[in-house]
A and B are shown apart, each in its own frame.
Chain A
Amino acid sequence: MPAPRGKRKGGFIRRRRVCRFCAEKIDYIDYKNVKLLESFIPERGKIIPRRISGTCAMHQRMLAEAVKRARNAAFLPYTTD
């Protein structure tokens, strides 16, 4: 996963850590768990891309779905401007 991605853009390789959810073995991401979700939406309210947060594909999908539900339920903002 780290190196062979065409040309190397300096700086994006360091974040090759294991998925947080896989490491902790979390299988269901609850949309009501605001504390957990908050760490994946920085100030603007946007969902952090996978290559930055390091989560795996499966959990990123779960996470995105949970964030969207949370936004609907007014647990998380859609945007902060």
Chain B
Amino acid sequence: MRTYELLFIVAPTETDETVEALIEQLRTVATERGSTVTKVDKMGRRRLAYPIRKSPTTFTDANYVVLTIEGSGVEIAELERRLRVSDAVIRYLTVRIDEDLKRAEKFKTKRQAKGRPAGTHRRGRGHASEAEVFTDAEDSSAAEEEEVS
């Protein structure tokens, strides 16, 4: 089961109904292929960090929507295709996050098991223990670390 985060940016000229319809459409596409949309986060209207041009207009703010999807991965290609084709969507970004979350969980449980090593912010000596934590993490999760870099 892979977890993906699909973020897309809708032109501000689109109505909320259009956005809703789009989300529903994507949801259908996902369920058709055996995956589930676990979270819908409508971040709302935000100012863009830089103007995005989509001829013939240039946008300075837009509507952000984030979907969290759990599935095998086959649905992503189709979802992205829909977004690419859609005129309302001006940008999208798909991120696979199950590995990251797994890693985060791993670190968390490790830390709890070790009983908070090097948690405190100490100068000078603080570094030695920080190094310890890292070599441990790297040793056992060496494979995952290489994936990241």
Contacts and interface: CB of A to CB of B under 8 A. Distances in A.
A75 interface: yes
Nearest to B41: A32
A11 to B, nearest CB: 17
Interface in B107-137: 107-108, 111, 118-119, 121-123, 126-127, 130, 133-134
A56 B66 CA distance: 29
A61 B119 contact: no
A78 B121 CA distance: 33
A9 interface: no
Main secondary structure of the interface of B (DSSP, over half): mixed
Contacts, number: 62
Interface residues of A, number: 25
Contacts of A73: 7, 9, 64, 91, 93
A19 B134 CA distance: 12
A34 to B, nearest CB: 9
